Amino acid sequence: MSGSEQGLTSFDHTSLGQRVLFGSHAAVENTARVVADLGAEHVLLVAGRSSAQAARDVAGALPVVATIDEVAQHVPAERAEAAVAVAQSSGADLVLTIGGGSATGLGKAVALRTALPLVAVPTTFAGSEATDVWGLTTDGVKQTGSDPRVLPRAVVYDAALTLGLAPRSVAASSLNAVAHAVDGLWAPRADPVNRALGTEGLRALVPALQRLARGQDDLALREQLLYGAHLTAVAFASAGSGLHHKICHVLGGAFGLPHAEMHAIVLPHVTAFNAPAAPDAAARLAELFDGVPAAVGLRQLLAGLGLPQALREVGLAEGDLRRAAELVLPSVPPSNPRPVDAAALESLLHAAWAGDAVTAVVTAVVIEEGTAP
Ligand code: NAD
């Protein structure tokens, strides 16, 4: 029985300690407060160019000694090296990141090497700010690990800072947040506490995304997405990486696919593969989609949000699928509810690459598992 399907007889859960301040239009005040409370007087600011305005607004009155505005997805190792050098030469006593997961990720790389305290002000829904997970990419290989030094001491959430993000980017980023909770249901350390947090996060995210798909978008919707993204990231940090995240680590690191879109495309296929062997997770997820199987609901959401539906649309070549499967296979968690071999993985990846309808996959899996009526 997988961790996601266990009862309440016993579990071993660790909650990470982090201060969280949530409030729209309050980032300036809240960031100043946490920086002062940490006693910092020399701030290293990490903020990508798309967050330059937010950085000027939020950090304008802070004691910034150096600024890094070059950030990239999956944290290239050479960028991390350069940022560590800036942190050391500037005498920084705190790292402040303002931006999406790329800015947070670079700040984490600095914190990992220097043990400087980290404060994160997210402007996307990627959720990295709520985890102790770092990532670094060297020569196309993405390495990840967890370390208490990279968990931001404080996170300042301000949904108004996400208003510069186009609805399409909001959709992709929020589906990345959805993936944290869905994959968490069958991840290696799934337990009743992270399952509850993840489910509550999904209860915020899914209806908000359905509204976004109907063309609605306002500050309240962004608040709901940010709250859901926080909860699902906390759940992910606790539950660990399941099959979905192992696949996406390889696709992001080795093939440079865009992080949020890639997660959004792969998730329905992993869900279609695993859900028939994880009935508790399947029932929990189907409830969010009014009884529709989660894989189908996720796929409909993806289409409704106007996002790419196939990995071939975001830059993966068909000829890379076998190598991708080979790279993923050794990292598949033994806790996965269904056994995964090279052929199953390649077929799952092919379906995600081609953008196959998941209904067909669900049917095939159900019949194969012998659970069809
Ligand atoms: P990102 O930070 O690259 O941002 C996505 C896009 O949004 C970029 O084009 C960026 O320029 C733009 N953007 C960001 N803030 C904006 C703003 N305020 N206004 C306008 N545009 C804005 O990507 P992401 O999806 O936020 O994060 C992906 C990265 O985070 C990946 O490297 C991924 O591996 C990492 N990640 C890590 C964890 C973890 O726990 N360690 C969790 C999730 C994601």
Q: Give the residue whose CA is nearest to atom 3 of ligand 1.
A: 102
Q: Is the CB of 101 under 6 A from ligand 1?
A: yes
Given pLDDT bands bounded at 50, 70 and 90, which one contains residue 3?
very low
CB 31 within 8 A of CB 59: yes
Q: Is the CB of 100 under 6 A from ligand 1?
A: yes
Q: Give the residue whose CA is nearest to atom 24 of ligand 1.
A: 101
Given pLDDT bands bounded at 50, 70 and 90, which one contains residue 372?
very low
Spell out a b/e string for 221-240, using b for 16 or more CB atoms within 10 Å of the CB, else e. Answer: bbbbbbbbbbbbbbbbbbbb
**Residue 365 in this model has a pLDDT that exceeds 90:** no
Percent of the chain with pLDDT over 90: 89
- How far, in Å, from the CA of 187 to the mean position of ligand 1? 23
Q: Is the CB of 253 under 6 A from ligand 1?
A: no
Residue 260: predicted pLDDT = 94
Q: Is the CB of 260 under 6 A from ligand 1?
A: yes
Residue 1: predicted pLDDT = 42
Give helix 101-114 / helix 77-90 axis angle, nearest 10°: 60
Mean pLDDT on 303-312 = 96
The strand pairing partners of 154, in sequence order, are 19, 119
CB 157 within 8 A of CB 21: yes
Q: Is the CB of 127 under 6 A from ligand 1?
A: yes
- How far, in Å, from the CA of 123 to the mean position of ligand 1? 8
Mean pLDDT on 354-367 = 62
Given pLDDT bands bounded at 50, 70 and 90, which one contains residue 5?
low
Q: Give the range among 71-85, 130-144, 156-170, 208-222 with minimum mean pLDDT.
A: 130-144
Given pLDDT bands bounded at 50, 70 and 90, which one contains residue 6?
low
Q: Is the pTM of this model over 0.85?
A: yes
Q: Is the CB of 222 under 6 A from ligand 1?
A: no
- How far, in Å, from the CA of 290 to the mean position of ligand 1? 30
Residue 253: predicted pLDDT = 86
- Ligand 1 atom nearest the C-alpha of 134 is 41
Q: Give the residue whose CA is nearest to atom 35 of ligand 1.
A: 101
Q: What does each C-alpha distance from 357 to 7, 23, 299, 338, 360 come to in angstroms?
A: 33, 39, 8, 20, 6
Given pLDDT bands bounded at 50, 70 and 90, which one contains residue 369?
very low
Q: Is the CB of 73 under 6 A from ligand 1?
A: yes
Is the CA virtual torsion 344, 347, 353, 356 positive or negative? negative
Q: Is the CB of 177 under 6 A from ligand 1?
A: no
- Ligand 1 atom nearest the C-alpha of 133 is 41
- Ligand 1 atom nearest the C-alpha of 164 is 19
The angle subtended at Cα 257 by Cα 163 and Cα 359, nearest 5°, is 90
Q: Give the residue whose CA is nearest to atom 14 of ligand 1.
A: 100
Question: In the structure encoding, which two tokens stand for residue 80, read together?
Answer: 């991390």
DSSP string, 237-259: HHH---HHHHHHHHHHHHH---H
Residue 140: predicted pLDDT = 80
Q: Give the residue whose CA is nearest to atom 30 of ligand 1.
A: 101
Q: Is the CB of 128 under 6 A from ligand 1?
A: yes
Q: Is the CB of 74 under 6 A from ligand 1?
A: yes
Q: Is the CB of 174 under 6 A from ligand 1?
A: no
Question: In the structure encoding, which two tokens stand for residue 261, read together?
Answer: 């879109």
CB 348 within 8 A of CB 365: no
Given pLDDT bands bounded at 50, 70 and 90, which one contains residue 359?
low
Mean pLDDT of the chain, nearest integer: 93
Please provide the size of the chain in residues: 373
Model confidence pLDDT, tens digit, residues 49-79: 999 999 999 999 999 999 999 999 889 999 9
Q: Is the CB of 238 under 6 A from ligand 1?
A: no
CA 310 to chain CA centroid, Å, is 19
Residue in 144, 141, 89 with CA at minimum distance from that of residue 112: 144
- How far, in Å, from the CA of 181 to the mean position of ligand 1? 18
Q: Is the CB of 232 under 6 A from ligand 1?
A: no
Residue 4: predicted pLDDT = 45
Residue 358: predicted pLDDT = 86
Q: Is the CB of 173 under 6 A from ligand 1?
A: yes
Q: Give the residue whose CA is nearest to atom 2 of ligand 1.
A: 100
